[in-house]
Amino acid sequence: MSEELFHFIDGERVKGTGDRFGNINNPATGEITKQVPLASADEVRGAIASAAAALPAWAVTPPAKRAQVMFNFRDQIRSHMDELAELLSSEHGKTVEDAKGSISRGLEVVEFVCGIPQVLKGEYSEGVANGVDSYGVRQPVGVCAGITPFNFPAMVPMWMFPVALACGNTFVLKPSERDPSCGLRLAELMFEAGLPKGCLNVVNGDKEAVDTLLNDPGVDAVSFVGSTAIGRYIYETGAAAGKRVQALCGAKNHMLIMPDADIDQAVDAVMGAAYGSAGERCMAVSVAVPVGEETANAFVEKLAPRVQSLKVGPYTDTSAEMGPVITRESKERIERYIDEGIAAGAEAVVDGRGLSLQGYEDGFFVGGTLLDRVTPDMSVYTDEIFGPVLSVVRQDSYVDAKQLVLDHEYGNGAAIFTRDGDTARDFTQSVNIGMVGVNVPIPVPVAYHSFGGWKSSLFGDHSIHGMEGVRFYTRLKTVTARWPSGIKEGAVFNFHAGSDTAPT
């Protein structure tokens, strides 16, 4: 008998009232372990109403008090780390260490917003004209919504709601229906940390829930992380409904390996960047671009045995380096891409298709795959595969290698491995990419900087977390004020009760 999950609304667990449910699988075994209620439009509107009712009081709560709630939430996450990682791994499939790493990256954002009183300080200009002062303040947007993906069910929600709440907004989270338990537990911990009822609500659902959030006039801003096709739809629909929208979308991240690079360092880097979390992350390196045949041969020769020996297993196996992918459909899609690449002429140096583990024959496992001599016209190069597949695209020169990055549809991340500062500087300055690494394979910014791509990897004007996140979740108000000069004799001043000061 599978466990039935719930929504979290107005500070309480709420049983789903409809008759629609989604199945949650253990990706290592394929078995259904839980059922999640898929919210109706009315249930979503109930969560929005709860957030709207809580907004006025929370918006005027002093930033220092909001920060104290965030300090408490930080402590809650630390003390419940093992529990959260277990929830995450059991539904997503990634290793426990990988899960803890992603939770820790979300925790960094919580720690960033613990300093929200400093971040929200406005600007002040005295005497912009005779007797006139001008100042700017940042105020909450209102009720915000977050639509988050399956691949990081703790980290990505923590990129959103802590920033929104610290800025004085209230929030409705719609986690992925494939692995929602971590998001639900985070909301409970937020409430236990002292957040007032209604400030953070969680509704589980599918397209009906998403469309309600996008169209309901009670929602003022929407954040999204996921695929480009859905991100474009969310941006266009939400913007047409008058909402502020940030949509972080798909990627095809290149890693250039120059002839002067440390090949051992590059191989070590790409192992984690391409195959960590089974490649199910938007910042995964999925294209390696060695410059020159000698560089390519050395790179592939050293990389192949590492990929071949990659330990794949369930999250309960502490020696596993990579777990299964999220669903059977994902496994089949990834293997189709490998089929297409080989049929188009790619060389399967390491083939991860057909992997079956004893005792886990029904699990959604795909082995690490290394395809060499991939060309830019192949689907394994053009499309985001979202799996443990690395394509090697050999190029004769740095100029040709950089052009691959410039020409690709996506612009999330890119990296270059080189010892030459001039080459590295040219690459960082001239590529049309949102996040760039120099001898760093996954250039995800720390929490006090901001995360976001270019081109088809981002719709909207703001990246996520850091100061860009604060700007997204606040509106700028600029005040210009003139006060009569001079104190009038005999003027009467009224003071609030309890004041122990008076003018002299």
For range 346-367, the mean pLDDT: 97
Residue 495 pLDDT grade (very low, low, confident, very high; cuts 50, 70, 90): low
pLDDT value at 178 more than 80: yes
Does the annotation count 282 as an active-site position?
yes
The structure's pTM equals 0.94
pLDDT value at 486 more than 90: no
Whole-angstrom distance, CA of residue 29 vs CA of residue 195: 37
**What is residue 483's predicted lDDT score, i.e. its pLDDT?**
86
Residue 503 pLDDT grade (very low, low, confident, very high; cuts 50, 70, 90): very low
Residue 36 vs residues 20, 28, 61, 261, 496: alpha-carbon distances, Å: 9, 19, 34, 48, 53
SS (H, E, C) 292-353: CHHHHHHHHHHHHHHHHCCCECCCCCCCCCECCCCCHHHHHHHHHHHHHHHHCCCEEEECCC
pLDDT value at 117 more than 60: yes
Q: What does the mean pLDDT of the chain come to?
A: 95
For range 385-409, the mean pLDDT: 98
Q: Which residues, in sequence order, are CB contacts of 45 under 8 Å at separation 6+?
A: 212, 216, 218
For the chain, the domains span 3-249+457-478, 253-438
For range 276-289, the mean pLDDT: 97
Catalytic residue among 114, 167, 199, 282: 282
**What is residue 491's predicted lDDT score, i.e. its pLDDT?**
59
Buried b (16+ CB within 10 A) or exposed e, 441-471: bbbbbebeebbbbebbbbbbebbbbbebbbb
pLDDT value at 499 more than 50: no
CATH topology of domain 253-438: Aldehyde Dehydrogenase; Chain A, domain 2 (3.40.309)
- Residue 346 near residue 399, CB atoms below 8 Å: no
Cα–chain center distance at 77: 18
Q: Which residues, in sequence order, are CB contacts of 272 under 8 Å at separation 6+?
A: 441, 442
**What is residue 1's predicted lDDT score, i.e. its pLDDT?**
59
For range 75-99, the mean pLDDT: 97
For range 178-202, the mean pLDDT: 98
Q: Which residues, in sequence order, are CB contacts of 120 under 8 Å at separation 6+?
A: 63, 138, 167, 470, 474
pLDDT value at 41 more than 70: yes
Rounded to 5 degrees, φ, ψ at 209 are: -65, -45
pLDDT in tens, 231-258: 999 999 999 999 999 999 999 999 999 9
To which CATH superfamily is domain 3-249+457-478 assigned? Aldehyde Dehydrogenase; Chain A, domain 1 (3.40.605.10)
CA torsion angle 366 367 370 374 (round to 10): -10
pLDDT value at 502 more than 80: no
Whole-angstrom distance, CA of residue 281 vs CA of residue 469: 20
Please calculate the CA angle 31-32-37 and round it to the nearest 5 degrees: 165
Residue 126 pLDDT grade (very low, low, confident, very high; cuts 50, 70, 90): very high
Residue 2 pLDDT grade (very low, low, confident, very high; cuts 50, 70, 90): confident
For range 286-306, the mean pLDDT: 98
